[in-house]
Amino acid sequence: MNNPFQILIVDLGSQYTEVIRRSLRYLGFHSVILPPSKSLKWAEVYKPKGIILSGGSASVYEIDAPKIPKELLSFGVPVLGICYGMQWLAYINNKSTVHKVPEGKSYGPVEVSLRKSKLFVNLSSQINAWSSHGDSVKKAPTGFKIIATSKGGKVIEAMENTKEKLYAVQFHPEVEQTEDENIILNNFVKKICACKQDYFKKDAIKTICKEIGENTKNILGDKGVAIIGVSGGVDSTTLAAILTPVLGKQLKAFLVDTGGMRKGEIEKVKSIAKKAKINLEVISKYKNKFIENVGKSINAEEKRKNFREVYGEVFKEVAKFYGATHMIQGTLATDLIESGSTGKSALIKTHHNVDLKLGLKEIMPFADFFKFEVRDIARSFGLGELVSGRQPFPGPGLYLRVVGVPVTTELLEIVREADDEVRKILEKHNLYNKISQTIVALLGTKTVGVKGDGRVYGYSLVVRTVETADFMTVKGFYLPPIVCEEITNTLVKHPKIVRVLYDWTTKPPATTEFE
């Protein structure tokens, strides 16, 4: 049967499963993600050219650990096991070859020495990789050759059984923290599975836009009315730009002024919407309700839920006003993964716009897409400014950046001004566009300072600058000391700000936002 997907990814519960698919698409290959229970049947019908077993949080010894059908491992096409996938390959060949990492969980960067293998072509013999596992393979099973170890040789980092076409890596070749991260996946699909590139950006953009327009119109029919919240971010704005010419008056686009926006944000969004020919209504009357409701708690998840509550209420009223039948969301694949809506991956954060349960039919045309693809579409609509000139901003906005103390109008104003000052300084030094996201957060723990010979018991601000391709993982963007000094000196001018701290922690473990 005709198969549009050359690679089958078996989802064993990793946060990074979608990242594997994203990386393959970035490299030019279509792939499909399926749970173990459906993978064998699918493979028998569609005959993929290669199989990737994702990582996962379980231990192979757990009773309800995901189990990979045996037949899939002898299916005749190359198999690459990643992390849990590697442990499973070892366990299934010899149950005693997997053990708990003696030092507890291995989590973070690891130096890996590579030996000769088709998997490692074009890589140097030593790479920095990202590890995240509680178990590891202590002995390669019969037929397998060790092809990589951690520096010093303690941990088996990769093994292969070329005769059986089985390959495995303990670290995560798909995440950005692994040096030259795409090379290993590229070697696997191209050199080992002999896949041909079948995902071409230019064609993809045209097809994506056409299909999104047609599908949405089909769902709405002639009588349906859809609402779409436009935040001015690349996802919702691009989606509204695609749909406006197709749906015309059947689409009602609006912007909720939550009170947690960046300085000058509303005006900026309005002008972008005008450029994209989106007819945008701004709704501001709920600002105080947002502040009141979010300010009720300092707990990160409760704040997000309280924000969502008001957000949902606004949508309900808007829907009623327009007689809407559908709601369109610019939710991406990554949003769904991190809000726990995909496969077996864990809930990290409640996202403000996932699963709002408004009683409207939801349409998520971007649910299968990644940031780099939506950015390409935005550029094709002449909305390059969204991509290059503006950094992403979470729906709950500055509410997530007043941390450990109840949100008030005054504290929101401090972070809003500070955020703007930091942006201006980074722009002046030509750094802003090189940074994927800049966060300025106020920490609620008061500390002592001295200003004008007097004691001040004030707040600290944290400046976090990160770089990333997709926000599933991030690394710190280190600012030069001279820029840090300028930022610090500027921010401490506020009478209540005593200290400025910098945060360049990678994700994982630190998420991009503090809450």
The residues that touch ligand XMP, with contacts defined as CB under 6 A, are 338, 349, 351-352, 392, 394-396, 437, 471, 507, 511-513
Rounded to 5 degrees, φ, ψ at 70 are: -55, -40
- Comparison of 395 and 458: residue with beta carbon closer to ligand XMP: 395
In the bound state with ligand XMP, the residue whose beta carbon lies nearer, of 341 and 512, is 512
CB-nearer residue toward ligand XMP: 349 or 375: 349
- Neighbour tally for 305: CB within 10 Å: 15
For residue 341, with 0-12 CB atoms within 10 Å meaning exposed, 13-18 middle and 19 or more buried, which class applies? Answer: middle
Q: Which residues of 62-78 are buried (b: 16+ CB within 10 A; e: fewer)?
A: eeebbebeeebbebebb
Cite the beta strand spans of 285-328 per DSSP E. Answer: 326-328
Q: How far apart are the first and last CA of the chain?
A: 47
The alpha carbon of 308 is separated from its chain's Cα centroid by a whole number of angstroms, namely 20
Is 484 annotated in the active site?
Answer: no
Q: Which is nearer to ligand XMP, 87 or 231 (CB)?
A: 231
**Cβ closest to ligand XMP, residue 174 vs residue 513:** 513
Q: Choose, from 133, 157, 160, 172, the residue flagged as catalytic.
A: 172
* Shortest Å, Cβ 228 to ligand XMP: 14
User: Is 174 marked active-site?
Assistant: yes
**100/104 Cα distance (integer angstroms):** 7
The question of whether 83 is a catalytic residue gets the answer yes
* DSSP label of 191: I
Rounded to whole angstroms, the Cα distance separating 185 from 169 reads 11
Q: How far is the CB of 471 from ligand XMP (least distance, A)?
A: 4
Write down the least CB distance from residue 394 to ligand XMP, Å. 3
Between 28 and 392, name the residue whose CB sits nearer to ligand XMP: 392
Which of the following is catalytic: 18, 157, 160, 174?
174
**Which of residues 234 and 411 has its CB atom nearest to ligand XMP in the complex?**
234
Distance in angstroms (rounded) separating the CA atoms of residues 86 and 409: 51
Adjacent-strand bridge partners of 112: 127, 150
Taking the complex as a whole, the smallest distance from the CB of residue 474 to ligand XMP amounts, in Å, to 7
Nearest distance from residue 468's CB to ligand XMP, in Å? 8
- Please, which residues have CB within 8 angstroms of residue 293's CB and are 6 or more apart in sequence? 306, 307, 309, 310
Q: How far is the CB of 374 from ligand XMP (least distance, A)?
A: 13
Query: Smallest Cα–Cα separation from 388: which of 432, 344, 425, 422?
Result: 432
DSSP bridge pairs for 79: 51, 166
H helices, E strands: number in the chain: 15, 21
The dihedral built from the CA positions of residue 306, 368, 183 and 114, taken in this order, carries a sign that is positive
Neighbouring C-alpha atoms within 13 Å toward the C-beta of 66: 27
Question: Which residues participate in catalysis according to the annotation?
Answer: 83, 172, 174
